[in-house]
């Protein structure tokens, strides 16, 4: 990776420094690959126009549910991020994987929304979602109910839109459907046209042996921090909703 002055910590061995320098070179290569992938994402051609102006529900004035259209969710921005939360009405409690991620994103939301609109959508009624967010202490995330619209199936917030080939490859039954943690990005053009820009398709990509899908690790500080430890993520650990 080229010559540059390397660090050294107190009392480290020569073997440690040699291995650490090799790791640093790999980390630099990964950083560059991350930048390359981000540039490829930004350079994608325009995606497909959304088929309809979906109607969601949010908590409005006087804490009453009110409808809001997809086109309104952009606010002052031209870019919109929608995270599909695995908290449908059939669940007694939400997905712990989604929940720990949203614990972190709540802190980031105040910063993200300086540049793009960000909302969390789920199939549960909006009163249930708002109550959960309040109890969780999420003060910066905007919660929306899909209110029975077609958004989750159109944009893979659940498995309803999987093709028979995808179901067969993954061993899913034809009548089995559940929510998925999909992140989708949309852009509103100057004439008001809304296009899909990117979705976290790694959610549905085949897993590597010994791994889960890791589709949203790039925005997940929990796994990033554990990857820095000697023990790593562990073989059995998975976050809980409550401890």
Segment holding 196, helix H or strand E: strand 194-199
For the chain, give the number of residues: 243
CA distance 141 to 240: 20
The CATH number of 55-207+214-219, from 3.40.30.10, 3.40.50.720, 3.10.129.10, 1.10.1060.10, is 3.40.30.10
Q: How far is it, in rounded angstroms, from Cα 243 to Cα 225?
A: 19
Per the CB < 8 A criterion, the answer to whether 121 and 81 are in contact is no
Per-residue pLDDT of the chain (243 residues; tens, 9 = 90+): 568 899 999 999 999 999 999 999 999 999 999 999 999 999 999 999 999 999 999 998 778 999 999 999 999 999 999 999 999 999 999 999 999 999 999 999 999 999 999 999 999 999 999 999 999 999 999 999 999 999 999 999 999 989 899 888 888 888 888 999 999 999 999 999 999 999 999 998 888 887 877 889 999 999 999 999 999 998 889 999 999
Q: Name the region of 171 (left: φ>0; alpha: ψ -120 to 50; beta: rest).
A: left
The pair of three-digit structure tokens given for residue 170, joined into one six-digit string: 């993954």
How far is the C-alpha of 32 from the C-alpha of 96, rounded, in Å? 32
Give the residue from 155, 124, 153, 127 showing the smallest Cα distance to 66: 127
CB within 8 A of 134, min separation 6: which ones?
A: none
32-90 pLDDT per residue, tens: 999 999 999 999 999 999 999 999 999 987 789 999 999 999 999 999 999 999 999 99
Domain borders along the chain are: 55-207+214-219
CA 31 – CA 45 distance, rounded (Å):
24
């Amino acid at each position: 990776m080229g010559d540059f002055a390397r660090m050294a910590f107190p009392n480290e061995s020569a073997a440690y420094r040699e291995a650490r320098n090799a790791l640093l070179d790999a980390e630099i290569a990964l950083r560059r690959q991350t930048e390359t992938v981000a540039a490829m994402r930004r350079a994608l051609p325009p995606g497909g126009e959304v088929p309809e102006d979906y109607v969601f529900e949010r908590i409005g004035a006087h804490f009453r549910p009110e409808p809001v259209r997809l086109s309104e969710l952009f606010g002052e921005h031209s870019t919109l991020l929608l995270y599909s939360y695995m908290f449908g009405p059939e669940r007694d409690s939400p997905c712990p994987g989604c929940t720990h991620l949203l614990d972190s994103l709540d802190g980031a939301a105040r910063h993200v929304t300086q540049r793009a609109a960000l909302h969390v959508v789920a199939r549960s009624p909006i009163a249930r979602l708002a109550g959960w967010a309040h109890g969780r202490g999420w003060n910066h995330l905007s919660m929306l109910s899909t209110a029975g619209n077609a958004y989750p199936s159109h944009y893979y917030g659940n498995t309803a839109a999987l093709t028979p080939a995808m179901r067969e490859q993954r061993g899913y039954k034809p009548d089995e459907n559940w929510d998925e943690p999909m992140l989708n990005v949309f852009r509103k053009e100057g004439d008001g046209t809304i296009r899909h820009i990117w979705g976290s398709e790694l959610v549905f990509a085949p897993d590597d042996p010994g791994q889960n899908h890791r589709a949203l690790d790039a925005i997940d500080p929990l796994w990033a921090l554990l990857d820095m430890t000697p023990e790593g993520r562990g073989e059995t650990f998975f976050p809980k909703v409550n401890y």
